[in-house]
Chains A and B, each alone.
Chain A
Amino acid sequence: MTVDVAARLRAARGGRLRRAQATIVVALRMMLHDKAKLIGTTLGVVFAVVLAAQQLGVLFGLLQKNTMFVDNAGADLWIVPPGTTQTAPGQRMSTALLDQARATPGVAVAAPLLMIGTSVTKPGGGSEATTLVGFDLATGLGGPWNVVAGDVAALRAPDALFFEDAQREKFGGLNLGSVREVGGHKVRVVGFTWGLQPFGPPFSFADIDTVRDLGAVPADQLSFVLIKLAPGADRAAVAADLAARCPTATVIATPTFHATIVSTLLRQQLGITFGTSTAFGLIIGFIIVALSMFSAVLDNLREYGTLKAIGLTSWDLTRMLVVQSIVYALLGSLIGLGLVALMSAGIRGPNLIVIVPRTLVLATPIIMTVLCMLASVLALRRVRRLEPGMVFR
Chain B
Amino acid sequence: MTLAIDARGVGKVFGAGALAFRALDAVDFQVTPGELVMLVGPSGSGKTTLLSILGCVLTATEGELRLFGERVSGRPERELPVLRRALIGFVFQGHNLIGALSARDNVRLVLESRGTTAHAARAEADALLAAVGLADKRDRLPAELSGGQRQRVAIARALAGSPPLVLADEPTAALDAHAGLEVTELLTRMCRERGTTVVVVTHDNRIFHLADRIVHIEDGRIVDGRLSGVAA
A positions within 8 Å CB-CB of B: 1, 3, 5, 8-9, 11-16, 18-19, 21-23, 26, 29-30, 32-34, 300, 302-303, 305-313, 316, 387-389, 391-393
Contacts and interface: CB of A to CB of B under 8 A. Distances in A.
Contact of A11 (B34, B86, B196): B86
B33 A11 contact: no
A3 B86 CA distance: 11
Interface residues of B, number: 50
A61 to B, nearest CB: 44
B92 A306 contact: yes
A387 B82 contact: no
6 contacts: A12-B115, A26-B100, A26-B109, A306-B96, A389-B52, A392-B55
Q: Which of B4, B100, B105 has the most CB of A within 10 A?
A: B100
Given A26-B98, A302-B96, A392-B57, A12 B85 contact: yes
B101 A391 contact: no
Contacts of B92: 306, 309, 391-392
Given A9-B83, A310-B110, A392-B52, A33 B90 contact: no
A19 B94 CA distance: 25
A389 B57 contact: yes
A308 B81 contact: yes
Contacts of A12: 82-83, 85-86, 114-115
B113 A19 contact: yes
Given A5-B86, A9-B86, A303-B98, A310 B113 contact: yes
A9 B82 contact: yes
Nearest to B110: A310
Given A8-B87, A12-B85, A303-B99, A311 B48 contact: no
Given A5-B69, A26-B109, A392 B169 contact: yes
Contact of A29 (B90, B105, B110, B116): B105
- Choose among A303, A305, A388, A392 the residue with the greatest number of B CB atoms under 10 Å from its CB: A392
A99 B126 CA distance: 92
Given A19-B113, A23-B113, A392-B92, 16 more contacts: A1-B194, A3-B33, A5-B86, A8-B164, A16-B115, A26-B98, A33-B100, A34-B100, A300-B99, A306-B98, A308-B57, A309-B57, A309-B90, A310-B90, A311-B85, A311-B114
Interface in B22-46: 33-34
Given A30-B100, A303-B96, A312 B113 contact: yes
A311 B194 contact: no
Contact of A313 (B58, B81, B97, B197): B81
A23 B112 CA distance: 9
A189 to B, nearest CB: 68
Contacts of B109: 22, 26, 310
A34 B141 CA distance: 13
Nearest to B33: A1
With most chain B CB atoms within 10 A of its CB, the pick from A14, A312, A316, A387 is A312
Contact of B99 (A13, A33, A311): A33
A9 to B, nearest CB: 5
Given A1-B195, A313-B78, A32 B100 contact: yes
Contact of B57 (A34, A302, A313, A388): A388
Contacts of A308: 57, 81
Contacts of A33: 99-100
Contacts of A303: 96, 98-99
Contacts of B105: 29
A202 B96 CA distance: 69
Contacts of B115: 11-12, 14-16, 18-19
